[in-house]
Structure 1
Amino acid sequence: MSRNERKDRATPPPLPEPLRVAVADSHTHLDMQSGDPADALAAAASVGVETVVQVGCDVAGSRWAADLAAAHPAVWATVALHPNEAPRLVLGDPDGWSGQRRPPGGRAALDAALDEIAALAALPQVRGVGETGLDYFRTGPEGVAIQHESFRRHIDIAKRHDKTLVIHDREAHDDVLRVLAEEGAPDRVVFHCYSGDAAMAKVCADHGWWMSFAGNVTFGSAQPLRDALLAAPRELLLVETDAPFLTPVPHRGRPNAPYLIPVTLRAMAAVRGDDEDELAAAVAANTARAFTY
């Protein structure tokens, strides 16, 4: 890759045309994005993204999310240990989220972290518990049992505090659905960055679970996601960036941020044959319901 190509990839995409009906970014990581969060919120608001859900992935990130939501009414927080974080705490990790080596902490480290997540979940500015769930893409067999325990305990936290459960499901669809059935799902469940197929979308719809679509629905290889988007009822659709990840086409490979929500929402409307304003209004109402407690 040439120097100019590297520079282009590092350059944020331009602001899209504003939405006429305001929506929310149902899942973002402002703590992993460059710049001042206040500037990111202002850029998002300028294109009709008036609310963002700031998602925690570890204890420090969950504290940061709760603090940001306390300071900014446009931010709703969720708190959790990411599915890959639980094995890192117990078994150790060569890099982790911070890029620093973490020694094994054992069961006591997981218990202490989950106790803090539960305390944060009780805060009024915290709307959800997540992202939690199962991720078999990066975690080896030795970490799967720890992920399952962490997921079950997050479900309990969400139910105890009547908060929305935000699920990360990567290459673990059957087990995620099984654990939800065994534990009993909370009243409100969001599948973040929905990754299942059309058949799973019908299962989610039967349970009244929201499905949040990210920029990867625009990728050329993502026809199964687009099929799921068509199968999902409009009243259960959300939109997200998962920024700084999953930047939508035509900006794939460049930094993602909440202000790019209009790109993904318009792509969703095109796939479904929906009027953009009608889909935006539905998504806005859905997000409000999904994160109200």
Structure 2
Amino acid sequence: MTLNEDESILYVADRANNRIRQVDLPTMTVTTITDSESPSQDAGTLAWNESFPPESQRGIYFDEPFGIAFYTEPAKVGEDAKKLFPKRASVLLVSELRSHRLRRLVLVGDVSGSGQAGPASFMYAGSYNAVSGHVDELGPASMFHSPSGISVVPGTDGGVAFVADAGNHMIRRVEKELPKQLYISVKSNLHPNTFEDVDEYSFGNGNMAISHGYYSINGPPNNETSHAFGFVSYSDETHVLTMCAYPSLEYFVIFKGPIHVIISDVFHQVKGNVYISWKGTGPGDERAETFRLKDEGED
């Protein structure tokens, strides 16, 4: 259990029901924050709205939540967030006993990717595919065995926490992995007059009649960079996406058709790392591969 800042709300990890509950202490009203029967997260756009990292999870499922700690963090992300945006978001850090991971639950806010205001769940540390172990690393590169009690160090904005790693018989210090902004630029590489055979260039795309290019960028599940995809339908079409991504994670991409795709650290590649630059020239061109971001100071 944990209290909010003014001690008016008690948050409870309801382990057997796989839910997070809140108790309004003045009225003793109990409300369920996350429901294990909520619909699962669907694929969404990764457009950055400058409020929260994208691809949050509206259908939130916990597998035996155990430890729970309340803290606040800047409601905006990026450099100088504290100075420029003093408003703060209420957050719960929750340990999952059976999934061997820590989850960050943003309680309120216009969370991009969810379609509604919070809550939204993000990965904090531990195995994203519910595998136990013992690894000291950042984010999903770390591993726990049945993490239980948890506490956030005051004044760190959730950046440092201590966890009782029950299965490993250890007390672990956890640092939050900071995201990097990843830019994805997709342009059509099809000449305006190249539509003589529509079927040759067409990919299946639901309601769209013509689509000559396709792209998909995937991260692991239960993570704020789970999925981004799109279709390119016109010769002058351009897509620009900004998503938050983590050096500890591996990303998988698929590109098809006559499109030009650039994935990099910075917009227009003025300075920084270019991870992928691919140009397809025909309908049969395709590329599929994995990549990782470079961490600070890495060549």
The structure whose residues are more often strand, as a share, is 2
TM (norm. structure 1) is 0.23
Max Rg structure: 2
TM (norm. structure 2) is 0.23
Higher RCO (C-alpha under 8 Å, 6+ residues apart): 1
